[in-house]
Structure 1
Amino acid sequence: MHALAFLAQWQGGELRSSQAIAESLDSNPAFVRRVLGRLRERGLVVAVEGAAGGWRLAKPAEEITLRDVHAVADDGAVPLPVHAHPPNRNCVIGRHMLSLLESEFADAQRAMEERLAQTSIADLLGRVYRSERAEEAARGN
């Protein structure tokens, strides 16, 4: 989400290097390339190879939701681990707890995805800029 908001600053098609994105993330370019590679597979970013290459958004930031990005990061993972191994079926709690918790976690996952679908990368970038203006005003700049 951070990298996409960073790229959203240049929606005119300008490319940003893995190094520039990594500096914003305080990370390393190899990690950035790995993450952005997964986003490229989902059609969220475009990569141009070569010395003058880099990354850009594949579509307008208004069309990329936090849910889209979360789906790449989540990739089918269970939201919260329930049991390391199947519970004891001879216990009244053991017989029912797993299915009950799975239902609760599935409902929570749906609610989170619905919420993330309401916020685009453009919305996030706008909030970053508003926060920055508020900080500048507080500093008296």
Structure 2
Amino acid sequence: MGANSRLTIAAHALAWIGLNERMGGEVATSEQIANSVNTNPVVIRRLLGELREAGLVESRRGAGAGWRLTRTPESISLAEVYQAVEEGPLFALHPATPNQKCPVGHGIRSVLTPVYDGAEQALRAQLARTSVADVLRESIAVH
């Protein structure tokens, strides 16, 4: 099972849009963002569509088409980005009810549910402490 990179790509796209705006660009195209991410523009457009539904970006159509942030990079947390692009919980229980006659099968859900809930809360708290501006600033600092 591979790791999910949707949050990473979305954070990258938002940071790039923030940099573009800082440098005087009115909008960023999905092709420009895809070039930075090194992926297909269709991947970027799909994620930006989800970010638009969450109110984090807006798009302009027609001449001068592209994407821009709806708020400052400082006011967008990675927790909001995560909420916009990730479906469902971080971890899931069995899709079918385990064997209730088995001692492990009988208790596994009640044991793992609070562990998974705690991990999800910790993840969201960590993401809430980081803004798109932090990602942009620290990414540029690495260069």
- Structure 1 and Structure 2 fold alike (TM over 0.5): yes
Aligned residue in 2 for 1:138:
none
Q: Which residue of 32, 38, 51 maps to 2:50?
A: 38
Q: Rg: which structure is higher? A: 1
Unmatched 5+ stretches in structure 1: 133-141
Verify the 8 A CA contact 1:6 1:21 in the aligned structure 2: yes
In structure 2, C-alpha distance between the alignment counterparts of 1:13 and 1:112, rounded to whole Å: 33
Aligned residue in 2 for 1:72:
84
Aligned residue in 2 for 1:55:
67
Backbone CA RMSD of aligned residues: 1.4
In structure 2, C-alpha distance between the alignment counterparts of 1:32 and 1:51, rounded to whole Å: 20
Unmatched 5+ stretches in structure 2: 1-10
Q: Percent identity?
A: 37
In structure 2, C-alpha distance between the alignment counterparts of 1:74 and 1:53, rounded to whole Å: 26
In structure 2, C-alpha distance between the alignment counterparts of 1:116 and 1:78, rounded to whole Å: 15
Aligned residue in 1 for 2:124:
113
Please state if 1:103 is matched with 2:105.
no
TM-score (norm 2): 0.86
Please state if 1:26 is matched with 2:38.
yes
SS of 2:96 mapped into structure 1: coil
Verify the 8 A CA contact 1:13 1:56 in the aligned structure 2: no
Aligned residue in 2 for 1:135:
none
Aligned residue in 2 for 1:15:
27
Query: Aligned residue pairs: how many?
Result: 131
